[in-house]
Amino acid sequence: MNPTLSELEAKATRQKAAFGGDAHIVCDNLVRIYKTEGVEVVALQGLDLVIDKGELVAIVGASGSGKSTLLNVLSGLDVPTAGVARVAGTDLLSMNARDRLRYRRSVVGFIWQQTARNLLPYLTARENVELPVKLAGGRRERRERADELLELLGVGYCANRRTPEMSGGEQQRVAIAVALANSPQLVLADEPTGELDSETSELVFDSLRKANRELGVTVVVVTHDPLVSEQVDRTVGIRDGRTSSETLRREDAEGHIIAEEYAVLDRVGRLQLPRDFMNALDMERRVRLELESDHIGVWPAREEPSGE
């Protein structure tokens, strides 16, 4: 007996893997719309993103591209308007207020650009790291946990210092320890080196790499700093509320770092051509496509002569 059309459709649906599968972070057609004074601003316009567990990823983009909105959504600070946003199996669209509080305390850690927002100035570094554990209800071994994290990140000597007694770089490394205090599965950093010089920035980013490699925590860094984006294996570019490009870095047989940039093809076949490519070839409104045996050719549209 031949299967019916409905049976074939059901079989195809079962066989088709969900977008992102069991990846650690999945954003599928993610939309975030803000309404201010009667004006709607679409910050995320159907963004797709997949990040596996244990990755260290940089998110880059111009001001207004949507990268900070994405970070706020992943941190549980902002609620998406539509689409799918999932972190460590948690559906960020369906959480209630209590779920969000629990999520921010135990699943995700956050590091702000402004050092003053990360630490309480009247507490020592150790006490700052102990505080999230205490707020989450943990009582045992808080001090040992704090000291271990401070030592891991190279600021163990700051344990008894308060914020005014530490440099900006030391404060940010202590802030990383605070973000790691409750053993989160994901650490998000919003321009963590934005207020630091290049040498100090390197120390801070070394700490993020160490947390990623030795603790296995997934790290996502939003940054304008090209030096930061060059120190990760994967950089995701965002433009106009969508992921537009990815740069993958790998080491060749001779130990040289090779970086390859790709345009991101979304689920419905859209991609964003780099602006400098478009400007160089004066591409506007439409382009001509030709399917070859192993690639798709993209050319500026021919201008047809107008009839007299």
Give 92-137 pLDDT, tens digit per residue: 999 998 999 899 988 999 998 887 788 999 999 999 999 988 887 7
Is it the case that residue 20 has pLDDT exceeding 80?
no
pTM > 0.75 = yes
Give 74-95 pLDDT, tens digit per residue: 999 999 999 999 999 899 999 9
Question: Is 202 contained in some domain?
Answer: yes
Question: Is 146 contained in some domain?
Answer: yes
> What distance in Å separates the CA atoms of residue 142 and residue 139, rounded to the nearest whole number?
6
Question: Is 255 contained in some domain?
Answer: yes
Question: Is 147 contained in some domain?
Answer: yes
Structural domain count of the chain: 1
Whole-Å CA distances, 191 to 56, 202, 213: 15, 13, 20
Give 282-292 pLDDT, tens digit per residue: 888 888 888 88
CATH of the domain at 235: 3.40.50.300
Give 211-224 pLDDT, tens digit per residue: 999 999 999 999 87
Question: Is 65 contained in some domain?
Answer: yes
Is 69 within 8 Å of 45 (Cβ atoms)? no
Mean of pLDDT values over 163-173: 92
Is it the case that residue 240 has pLDDT exceeding 80?
yes
Question: Is 46 contained in some domain?
Answer: no
Residues with Cβ within 8 Å of 87's Cβ and at least 6 positions away in sequence, in order, are: 24, 25, 74, 103, 107, 108, 185, 186
